[in-house]
Structure 1
């Protein structure tokens, strides 16, 4: 699971420093919003081919760590 965190980046030059997927302009919150609206992973990947299944899993793992209160030392 820790390898998934390497897909989440925080860069002040990208999306105002919000956590994003692989330093692309895909904030974690946008991926979570798509999932929360009922989109299936396969639909997201079909609509956005630059994303990978592991990116979706990484956003979910990041969200889990965020709400659990764990320190996110691996995210940079």
Structure 2
């Protein structure tokens, strides 16, 4: 099973969402910035306490979730 040593989850932090190393920064916050067109260096400038590996692992976590979940997606036209 894939492990994510930089992704943590605790009920009292950010509503139990997946966070980066116990900080109040969710994996989704990081992934959304990349999805909005920002590059890793820009994300790191916004969150100077994050490390490049944090961003990469957030992306890996998002990919893992996308592979393992059945979601209703829009059909191709």
TM-score range, shorter chain: 0.7 to 0.9
The RMSD of aligned alpha carbons is: 1.4
Show structure 1 runs of 5+ residues with no match. 71-76
Q: TM-score, normalised by structure 1?
A: 0.82
4+ long deviations beyond 3 Å: none
Q: With CA pairs under 8 Å and 6+ residues apart, which has the higher RCO, 1 or 2?
A: 1
User: Which has the larger share of helix?
Assistant: 1
Q: Name the SS of the counterpart of 2:58 in structure 1.
A: helix
Q: TM-score, normalised by structure 2?
A: 0.81
Higher Rg? 2
Show structure 2 runs of 5+ residues with no match. 70-77
1:43 aligns with 2:22: no
**How many residues in Structure 1 have an aligned counterpart in Structure 2?**
68
